[in-house]
Structure 1
Amino acid sequence: MIRVLVVDDDFMVARLHSTLVEQVPGFTVVRAVHSGNDALAAVRELRPDLVLLDMYLPDVPGLEVLRELRGTAAPDESPDVLVVTAARDAATVRGAQRGGAVQYIIKPFEGQLLRERLSRYAERRAELAALHAPEQDDVDRLFAGAPGEAAPDGTDGARTATGTADAATATSPHPAAPAAHTPARLPKGLTEQTAELVRATLEAAGGSSGLSASECAERSGLSRVSARRYLEHFVSLGTARVTLRYGTTGRPERRYHRVDAQEETSGSA
């Protein structure tokens, strides 16, 4: 199991990233912290394998945290670092690459992007662990997957394309520049980061039984009213559907189910 420490100054974003990490087989979150000093202390205490590191922290700059993590221990003892941040200036990207970050993801981003990067990281980690006396071809293959590699969509890995906003927070003191694609405006009172949290919770539930608003609230840390508002919004968009579960008494319970791409296509045909 790959043990992950999540570092982000925004509590909701840290919770979202933790949810996304837990959705990837073979990964588990050992803790989420919200400052550079807490990150360094957690690494010393928990010895995680991977750190998801934001660059905008309230006490210590993210690049300084990265240098500390990568420079104060033997290479086989220090954790790998995957940067997840709204910082898109060239100096920060170069600093992260020189500091040894294994990947750099720019907020806002699609949740699937982080899941894909984690899966590729796990594959590379397994390949590296299996090497004993590598040939040049083996080394070339591994270094082709180093920071700055070409991503599946043809973009540079250190300059990830930004798609739909689902991890950036509208109230962040360091908002990202507008993405190339602007998502549909949410109803008043709803935010993108919370929408993605509910979406990820719904995806994680899976199965044919779906999820009630109360169960979604419990798993995401939201109130039942808030969870239901987001779930009903997804229903209105066609990305979720509702079934009714009838009990012995009272009103039927509304169960929410994620609508996958195949269902959306067949429904619109």
Structure 2
Amino acid sequence: MNDYRVLIVDDDFHVARLHAAYVDAVPGFAALTPVGTAALALQTIHALKPDLVLLDVYLPDMSGLDVLRGLDVDALMLTAAAEPESFRAALRRGALGYLLKPFSAEDLEAVLRGYARFRRLLANPGTLDQSAVDRARRALLGARDAAAPSRARSGTEAAVLDALASGELLSAAEVAAVVGVSRATAQRYLSALADDGSVEIQLRYGATGRPEHRYGLNG
């Protein structure tokens, strides 16, 4: 899969370059050349069609919240605007997340990994059920939980992770065979581990042309 292309919109040139470096350091993401005004942001989005826009509220020619209103692209707010009304307006106008400055590279990486899980969960063909919708929302809402202390792994979770330790992508059935549990049990643990970012999911098409999920350790 190609990298997700990310446009950073921030009028502080040095901050924008720093955030671009943060983005480029996350596997699966590539920063486009940052822009510093709403007008340039709209032109660049129209011309390059990025996958994700990281948008500041405070821009010299227009509020980033007003830019957000007209976008037809995924957007996350990276801003020092800590007013509750700015946060609420961003959510009303479609922002997928809101990260307050200053933040660390690890903070942004956690948000981007959550976004990548969100995209993977919605990449499957066909319609969604409520479980898929809830998992996609958790991927975004729980994106920064990666920075929290890890809870203790259960024995089955540890065994599932050990099964993937070779680096080879495995199906749920293959993991079940290695661990010695049912396919349904392996699938349940793999889904939970994918939600917390420990496991990544890739879609592969077999000889029959039917898609199959393959699982591997994240990173």
Aligned match of 1:4: 6
TM-score normalised by L of structure 2: 0.62
TM-superposed deviation, 1:16: 0.2
What residue identity is the alignment partner of 1:65?
Answer: V
> Bigger shift: 122-131 or 80-89?
122-131
| Aligned counterparts of 1:12 and 1:151: Cα–Cα separation in 2 | 24
Aligned match of 2:145: 152
| Aligned counterparts of 1:128 and 1:153: Cα–Cα separation in 2 | 21
Aligned match of 1:139: 133
Change in Cα spacing, 1:46 to 1:13, as seen in structure 2 (3 Å) is same
Unpaired runs of 5+ residues, structure 2, are: 149-219
Moved over 2 A (4+): 133-136, 143-146, 148-151
What residue identity is the alignment partner of 2:120?
Answer: A
Count of residues in correspondence between the two structures? 146
Change in Cα spacing, 1:37 to 1:100, as seen in structure 2 (3 Å) is same
What residue identity is the alignment partner of 1:86?
Answer: A
Aligned match of 1:30: 32
Question: Is 1:52–2:45 an aligned residue pair?
Answer: no
| Aligned counterparts of 2:118 and 2:62: Cα–Cα separation in 1 | 30
| Aligned counterparts of 1:153 and 1:25: Cα–Cα separation in 2 | 16
RMSD: 1.9
TM-superposed deviation, 1:133: 2.8
| Aligned counterparts of 1:23 and 1:152: Cα–Cα separation in 2 | 19
Matches within 5 A, 1:1-269: 1-69=3-71, 78-146=72-140, 151-152=144-145
Q: Secondary structure at the match of 1:130?
A: coil
TM-superposed deviation, 1:134: 2.5
1:130-158 deviations in Å (ceiling 9; x for gaps): 14232221122223345x55841799xxx
Change in Cα spacing, 1:11 to 1:154, as seen in structure 2 (3 Å) is closer
Q: Secondary structure at the match of 2:90?
A: helix
TM-score normalised by L of structure 1: 0.51
Q: Secondary structure at the match of 1:124?
A: helix
Structure with the bigger percentage of helix: 2
| Aligned counterparts of 1:44 and 1:153: Cα–Cα separation in 2 | 33
1:102-132 deviations in Å (ceiling 9; x for gaps): 1110001122100111011011101101142
Identity percentage of aligned residues: 45
What residue identity is the alignment partner of 2:61?
Answer: D
Unpaired runs of 5+ residues, structure 1, are: 70-77, 156-269
Change in Cα spacing, 1:131 to 1:113, as seen in structure 2 (3 Å) is farther
